[in-house]
Each structure stands twice: as C-alpha cells, then as structure tokens.
Amino acid sequence: MAYVIGSACVDCLDRSCRTECPVDCIYEGARKLYINPEECIDCGACEAACPVEAIAGADRVKTVDLPFVLDNAQFFSEILPGRDAPLASPGGAEAVGRVGVDTPMVAGLPLRAT
C-alpha cells in the first residue's frame, strides 16, 4: 500500500521527502506534496525524512488524515483545475516539475500562518 502525505504538509512544503524518494514519486501541488500511489514502491524513505511527520502508509494514517488517502489518489486520477487531463502516472516528478495546483479539498482548506 502506498504512502500518503497528510494535513501537516499543507502550507509547509519542506520537500525533504522528495530528496529521499528513490523513485521520484512525490509531486508538488500549490500548498502540499502528493505521493503517486502507482509509482510509490513502499520503501518508507519519505516517511523517515519528513520533519513534520506528515507521511504514513495509507493503512496507518492518523484518523484526522483519513480523507487525505482518497484525496492523494485523486490528485493523479482527477482533472485538476487549469489542466486538460488527469496527471495519471507520468513516471517521475522531476520531469513534470511543480504542478502548482491542488485538489479541491486541499485548495479549500484555510491557510496556515507561517
């Protein structure tokens, strides 16, 4: 089961997890990072690297972050605002670059003070 990035990442975007991911499956939205469930190899390197403990296996997320399991998958399966097609599984975040938009759920969350 793939890893999921939860609520602690919203408006944080530390990106340490991206550096540690051996398969480049962590994509950047506008306010949060997302792990592609089709590309994730379940190694756990991202979870260990996250300084805000926002990452967990989809079967181990905190109760408050359960909505992020589906939301994370929808980042890749649904058409995001301003895009013509779903992101799907493009084969690596580095080549795609910053996506720059979030799912409607994340976009609708209140902004966190920095």
The answer as to whether 112 is a domain residue is no
Find the angle CA(34)-CA(39)-CA(40) to the nearest 5 degrees.
70
Domain range for 29? 3-95
pTM: 0.95
CB 34 within 8 A of CB 26: yes
Burial of 51 (0-12, 13-18, 19+ CB in 10 A): exposed
How many structural domains are present in the chain? 1
Q: Which residue matches tokens 């799912």?
A: 103
Query: pLDDT value at position 114?
Result: 61
What's 69's domain CATH number?
3.30.70.20
Q: pLDDT tens for residues 58-100? A: 999 999 999 999 999 999 999 999 999 999 999 999 999 999 9
Residue 38 lies in a domain: yes
